[in-house]
Structure 1
Amino acid sequence: MRPVRLMKVFVTRRIPPEGRAALARAADCEVEQWDSDEPIPAKELERGVAGAHGLLCLLSDHVDKRLLDAAGANLKVISTMSVGVDHLALEEIKKRGIRVGYTPDVLTDATAELAMSLLLTTCRRLPEAIEEVRNGGWTSWKPLWMCGYGLTQSTVGIIGLGRIGQAIARRLKPFGIQRFLYTGRQPRPQEAAEFQAEFVSTPKLAAESDFIIVACSLTPATKGLCNKDFFQQMKTTAVFINISRYTGAAQAPWGTSKPRGAVPAAVIQGFLPHGLSVSPRAELNLQRPTSQLAPAQKYSKGPKRGPRLGGKAVRAGLACQVPRSTPSRAGSGSGGLIAVGSQVTMGSPVLLYRRAGCNDLSSTSEPFRPPVHQAWVCLAV
């Protein structure tokens, strides 16, 4: 009897055991992993992916033509442990008929909770107050010392009323917010109705909001959206919170966008590519007590759905499984399939494929909204 040939799966980072366990359940898979918490160097990534049938990667791993060439013809599926796919060369992947999986909705609650933490600690000036206790600046209670900003009866502007934006607004409602504003590609009346949120232009949101939270996805249209002009339109009493991946907050102009002290507080949490480079580090005024820079820390302790779903997506793609269910607007069929987006219930690891005959794919910056007239097959595992 001929021995079974194992399929190689390369994992680009040390991931929680849930992800490894999901891959280990496939008896015909041989898993190799870059055993480090730090991003894998490009040369090591090319070496590791060579001959692989499946790749489980992260946002910091750029999957471009060069890497696909290094992988070779065996590569059948790429699973990214993220919602964003801007690090994947989708057009090149499409040409090669490689399936793509991602993990939507896994971090929605954790990210919304982080946004609330940043907002509350910034409004109440907790980082400054704690530092004063540490350095001996606090001596006794003073009525006007370290006064912060209250949320009650305020106007909150949310840039991007998607899953995370809605989760943030839902958590803010009990604080007695007087008015919600939001902006995005288009109005979302059904989602906005829950918060009685008003769809406005970006300049109007900047000018009228007491608190601004950036929660939009990274696209060419949103990258650097909150630039120098945006900050100059803000109230001098506004608080700015960015939890997007560099998307909303243009790092470079932030340090000089308004006179010192004009914006009372700002927290920038997302950086490209999930890290702070040397140039923005110099341009951002890290010594300002009201400017807080927080690292990406959106995973919560407990069962990790993201790694587990990412592993399942790799297994499903290698097995070419037939979808158990498809969304109402999806077509059916088989053949040369390429991943481009999501229309399934959020929370599933998703592989959305498009028949090879449909070549009118619109901009890869908007991969998650397939038109009704096209033929789609969805694989949710």
Structure 2
Amino acid sequence: MKKIVITRNINPDIIAKLRKDFEVAVWEEDQKPMPRGKFLEETKDAHAVLTMLSDKIDEEFLANAPDLKIVANLAVGFDNIDLEAAHRHEVVITNTPDVLTETTAELAFTMMLVSARKVLEANKELMAGEWSGWSPYHMAGTDVFGKTVGIFGMGSIGAAFARRLSGFKSNILYHNRSESEAANALGAKLVSFEELLRESDFVLCAAPLTEETKHKFDREAFEQMKESAHFINIGRGAHVVEDDLAEAIKSGKIAGAALDVFENEPIGADHPFIGLDNMTLLPHIGSASVATRNNMMNLCVNNIMEVLNGGTPITPVK
């Protein structure tokens, strides 16, 4: 019987689909990744692995699992995977595009509004019993309606975010490797990275992580932004030089930031962002609705079953 390893505790009803025909080993933790040693030991005789972004798929892992046919990554991104090594070992890599697009765009829009209107700061003050009464400029933030919003990375999530801006009569700018028909249909304008930074009141990073986009948002980038601007990141943490962003917030170079991703996750109490005003920090919950996570899990399972039964993967990473 072929063996499948699942590196995090997922919906048992979805696991049950696999257990009908395969041996399934599950790391029964919700938040803690499978330790590397355990991961290598458990997968050495595996035919398929359902992985998380926290699982490193590299030459060591692939060489250690000679029977492996597929790695199904529970994410759109796959920067945890050495694709060249996977190709050498003839292992299929799949991801979960499309099924989480709307949910992630929805959270990004929420983060923009929360950052603009100082929602977390106001809630913190109220919950601490420190609200002393109404005053004209108390917790006064900025409007989103009618503002210029720049989107770095106009893929499916960027386009879904842009659609949500239509009701806010936003001026939409975007920077992408190529022109986007979906963005153009919304009246968005393709601009240089520098113009995006210079003109936008809100900058959303929704790009995939590549060598070209890694640490793209550094001191120089933040210095080009308006002092009234807000930065939102739902792409990858490594798009940002985190010390530079912390300094931009502390110095008032930009007005605020909202982040759902960090370069090294999870972050602890000693992280430079912790304790800073004007920062909205979330624990990587971009696609975290029950329906979407179940759809992602089902897509991973369906990819695995297709490959192990001799079929074609549904969402291969090419």
Q: Give the TM-score band, short-chain normalised.
A: over 0.9
Post-superposition Cα deviations, 1:177-228, rounded to whole Å, max 9, x if no partner, equal 1x1110021222x112222111111111111101111111111111111111
The answer to whether the 8 Å contact 1:10/1:48 transfers is yes
Q: CA deviation at 1:277?
A: 6.3
Instruction: Tell which deviates more after alignment, 162-171 or 141-150.
Output: 141-150
- Which structure's residues are more often helix, by fraction? 2
Aligned to 1:292: 280
Aligned to 1:51: 45
Distance 2:43 2:237 in 1: 28
Aligned to 1:162: 155
1:350 is aligned, of 306, 310, 315, to 315
Aligned to 1:149: 142
Distance 1:258 1:118 in 2: 16
Aligned to 1:14: 9
Aligned to 2:172: 180
After TM superposition, the structure 1 = structure 2 runs for residues 164-243 of structure 1, keeping only pairs within 5 Å, are 164-177=157-170, 179-188=171-180, 190-243=181-234
Q: CA deviation at 1:272?
A: 2.9
> Tell me, what secondary structure is at the counterpart of 1:302?
helix
Percent of pairs with identical residues: 32
1:275 aligns with 2:266: yes
> Tell me, what secondary structure is at the counterpart of 2:15?
helix
Distance 1:150 1:49 in 2: 51
Letter in 1 for 2:4: V
Distance 1:302 1:21 in 2: 18
Normalised to the residue count of structure 2, the TM-score between the two structures is 0.93
> Tell me, what secondary structure is at the counterpart of 1:94?
helix
Normalised to the residue count of structure 1, the TM-score between the two structures is 0.78
> Tell me, what secondary structure is at the counterpart of 1:136?
coil
Distance 1:230 1:125 in 2: 23
Distance 2:291 2:271 in 1: 36
- Where do 5+ consecutive residues of structure 2 fail to align? none
> Tell me, what secondary structure is at the counterpart of 2:223?
helix
> Tell me, what secondary structure is at the counterpart of 2:301?
helix
After TM superposition, the structure 1 = structure 2 runs for residues 31-70 of structure 1, keeping only pairs within 5 Å, are 31-37=24-30, 38-70=32-64
The answer to whether the 8 Å contact 1:265/1:291 transfers is yes
Aligned to 2:99: 106
1:310 is aligned, of 296, 300, 306, to 300
The answer to whether the 8 Å contact 1:212/1:238 transfers is yes
Aligned to 1:363: none
Distance 2:146 2:255 in 1: 18
Distance 1:24 1:194 in 2: 46
Letter in 2 for 1:272: E
Post-superposition Cα deviations, 1:89-120, rounded to whole Å, max 9, x if no partner, equal 21111112122222111211111111111111
Instruction: Tell which deviates more after alignment, 85-94 or 14-23.
Output: 14-23
Aligned to 1:254: 245
1:92 is aligned, of 85, 92, 103, to 85
Distance 1:18 1:84 in 2: 25
Distance 1:301 1:99 in 2: 27
> Tell me, what secondary structure is at the counterpart of 1:9?
strand
Letter in 2 for 1:299: A
Distance 1:22 1:305 in 2: 14
